[in-house]
Amino acid sequence: MMLTPSRRVLLLLAIVFVVIQPAFDLGKASKFQIDLQLRGIGVAILFVLLALELADRITMKRDLEIAREIQEWLVPKHAPSVTGLDIAFATRPQNTVAGDYYDVFLRTVPVHDSGKKPLLVAVADVAGKSVPAALLMATFQASLHSLTATSVTLDEIVVGLDRYCCAHSLDGRRFTTAFLAEIDIETHEMQYVNAGHNAPILRRAAGSIERLSTGGPPFGIPAFSQNEERYPSGRVHLEAGDLLLIFTDGVIEAVNERDEEYGEARLLQCVQTTPSESASATMSRVMGEVNAFVGPARQFDDITSLVLRVTA
């Protein structure tokens, strides 16, 4: 059914010529020759169809590689240098392109109620996989950067993103979970909103664990779009030695060959036992543990995580 109409006709003819015995009463010799010729034509048609489909797949693969390169341009390759903060991130698409999104950047315009240019941290996950999710991820990135280029607050950014996602979510079928935060680079005060995303893990320097869950439902669910106060923001003060891990559901839902999920319990244990080290080392530790647990099993979802460690 994925063939074009003309190729379906060719496939039907090939099947008729190869499989169905033509009934001609021309004598045994003539019937054998005709049968052999028709089978040859049928096989030739099948080879032509195969060549056409392979050419289409090669073109599609090339297009996907270009799409992946474009997608890589939309996310940072290196974290910004911010005094007192050490940041690292990693992502591994399930397919050539992904629906996960991460970003860390200093806003270029001061927020109007504070006059400061905070550090914005974002991790999002579009429902679905491959090309459809990747396209929506690109539009989410464009919307976020457009909104943050003005002096609006985080609360206003969240409302704007939700309105945009509702307009392009196919009646909620392509919703987006996200965690958005703004950090004052001087005081390390962090304001955040969790839009239906996995609650990030904040490990305090003393070893206690906090989950950052304040917020509302995922972006792009029209049934809730009329309530602009559905995304309350949370606030925490980050102190020296604190570790923040933001991740998508592909991390905890990674499965091994026995169909067991990695799960939050293992992730919490990994974070709890992580020594005082660089953010990149912690990121490698987390991704390494997930990889070791999954082993050779197939990856079923995009995996993305971001580590922020407060150094001073």
pLDDT at residue 37 is higher than 80: no
Measured from the Cβ of residue 261, the count of other Cβ atoms closer than 10 Å reads 14
What mean pLDDT is predicted for residues 260-287? 93
**Is it the case that residue 299 has pLDDT exceeding 90?**
no
pLDDT classification of 48: cutoffs 50, 70, 90 = confident
Residue 301 has φ and ψ, to the nearest 5°, of -150, 160
Is the pLDDT assigned to residue 234 strictly greater than 90? yes
Mean pLDDT across the stretch 14-39?
62
Instruction: Give percent of the chain above pLDDT 70.
Output: 87
Tokens at residue 7, please? 């190729």
Nearest CA-CA partner of 247 in 89, 31, 18, 40: 89
Q: Would you state the pLDDT for residue 172?
A: 60
pLDDT of amino acid 94: 78
Residue 26, pLDDT > 50, answer: no
Kind of pairing between the strands at 119-126 and 176-183: antiparallel
Q: What kind of fold does domain 75-310 have according to CATH?
A: Phosphatase 2c; domain 1 (3.60.40)
How is residue 88 written in tokens?
A: 């690292």
Residue 54, CA distances (Å) to 4, 33, 59, 60, 172 in order? 14, 32, 9, 10, 35
Q: Which one has a higher pLDDT value, 207 or 172?
A: 207
| Low-confidence winner among 63-77, 120-134, 193-207, 257-271 (lowest mean pLDDT) | 63-77
pLDDT digits (tens, 9 = 90+) for 121-165: 999 998 877 677 778 888 899 999 999 999 999 999 999 999 888
What is the average per-residue pLDDT within 54-73?
Answer: 72
DSSP H helices, 92-181, are 130-148, 154-167
SS3 string, 169-215, reads: CCCCCCCEEEEEEEECCCCCEEEEEEEECCCCEEECCCCCEEECCCE
pLDDT over 50 (residue 58): yes
How many other β-carbons are positioned within 10 Å of the β-carbon of residue 25? 6
Stretch 38-60: mean pLDDT, rounded?
A: 80
Mean pLDDT of 91-112: 85
Lowest-confidence region among 52-56, 224-228, 265-269: 224-228
Stated pTM of the model? 0.80
Is the Cβ–Cβ distance between 123 and 94 less than 8 Å? no
**Interval 222-240 mean pLDDT:** 79
Cβ(6)–Cβ(52) below 8 Å: no
